[in-house]
């Protein structure tokens, strides 16, 4: 049986557009007939289920608790469908539960889902917590979403050096130009010089969504709609390319 590829989305600074990128990548896979599971590992402030208007009772903390207490029955009890092809394992509803989760349960959790999906997309945050580090280990690729800002670039240089030191080839860089389209201090050449790494994907300024709050309110994802895939043609092509390339690489 085929095992799902695991891609974790992270960053070196907060609020760079990780969740937005992850949701549109999930949409791109789903539109192409892939079965996607989103695991929300931004444990203390995860908002995937809220962003998608997915109602839930049980979250990743309940899953952890049940596995630890040997009261775990089946993984489906913690998974919620957003649309055909996209399921969600929500982050803790109560943020106080975030710190109680020990990453040792992740191996068991992943063993319950990798055969049911083609792609597992893990949302995370910029912190090098124990849970994030363990998840990085299990990931086939780690996508760093950065903005065109000095602190992002300096932080990325540090992470690039760490990945080099570990001789890891898992890091992929997504430059999100759509979040602050009016800023963009540096050219791509500058960015490569500062970060000492290649930029793998650039989400163009044209993907800036003026009424993103309305999208969030409606629990909507841009690239799920045919009309919007045409409207944001250039960005859609970037997501399509990213989706295919990530699956192809070993
Ligand atoms: N393509 C975009 N167009 C407009 N605003 C965006 C876009 N991507 C991100 N944002 C803005 O940046 C904020 C943070 O995005 P989000 O994806 O939640 O980042 P993170 O998950 O890294 O915290 C959003 O609330 C939104 O206001
Ligand atoms: Mg987020």
DSSP string, 109-151: HHHHHTTT-SEEEEE--S---HHHHHHHHH-SEEEEEE-SSHH
Tens of pLDDT, residues 63-96: 999 999 999 999 999 999 999 999 999 999 999 9
Whether pLDDT at 117 is above 70? yes
pLDDT at 1: 65
Question: Positive or negative, the Cα torsion across 208, 221, 119, 152?
Answer: positive
Domain holding 47, by residue range, is 5-248
pLDDT at 250: 67
CA distance 1 to 10: 29
Q: Residue 161 C-alpha to ligand 2 middle, in angstroms?
A: 24
Number of domains in the chain: 1
pLDDT at 108: 97
The pick from 212, 213, 220, 231 for probing ligand 1's pocket by mutation, whose C-beta has the most ligand atoms within 8 angstroms, reads 212
C-alpha separations of 171 from 154, 209, 239 in Å: 16, 27, 17
This prediction has a pTM of 0.97
pLDDT at 2 over 90: no
* CA-nearest residue, atom 15 of ligand 1: 17
* Minimum mean pLDDT range among 13-27, 112-126, 147-161: 147-161
Task: Say how far apart CA 150 and CA 203 lie, in whole Å.
Answer: 18
The 10s digit of each residue's pLDDT in 150-199 is 999 999 999 999 999 888 999 999 999 999 888 878 999 999 999 989 99
CATH number at residue 186: 3.40.50.300
The whole-number pLDDT of residue 182 equals 85
Quick check: CB of 15 below 6 Å from ligand 1? yes
């Amino acid at each position: 049986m085929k095992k799902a590829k695991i891609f974790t989305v992270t960053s070196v600074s907060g609020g760079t557009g990780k969740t937005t990128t992850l949701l549109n990548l999930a949409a791109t896979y789903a539109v192409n007939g892939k079965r996607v599971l989103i695991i929300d590992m931004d444990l203390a402030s995860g908002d995937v289920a809220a962003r998608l208007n997915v109602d839930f009772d049980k979250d990743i903390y309940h899953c952890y608790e049940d596995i630890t207490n040997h009261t775990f029955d089946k993984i489906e009890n913690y998974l919620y469908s957003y649309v055909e092809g996209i399921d969600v394992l929500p982050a803790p509803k109560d943020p106080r539960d975030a710190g109680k989760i020990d990453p040792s349960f992740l191996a068991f959790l992943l063993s319950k889902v990798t055969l049911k999906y083609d792609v597992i997309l893990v949302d995370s945050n910029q912190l090098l917590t124990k849970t994030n580090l363990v998840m990085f280990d299990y990931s086939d690729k780690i996508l760093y979403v950065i903005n065109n800002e000095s602190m992002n670039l300096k932080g990325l240089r540090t992470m690039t050096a760490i990945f080099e030191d570990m001789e890891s080839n898992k890091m992929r860089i997504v430059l999100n130009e759509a979040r602050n389209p009016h800023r963009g201090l540096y050219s791509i050449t500058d960015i490569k010089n500062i970060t000492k790494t290649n930029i793998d994907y650039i989400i163009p300024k044209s993907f800036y969504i003026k009424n993103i709050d309305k999208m969030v309110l409606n629990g909507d994802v841009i690239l799920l709609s045919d009309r919007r895939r045409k409207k944001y043609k250039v960005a859609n092509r970037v997501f399509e390319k990213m989706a295919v390339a990530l699956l192809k690489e070993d």
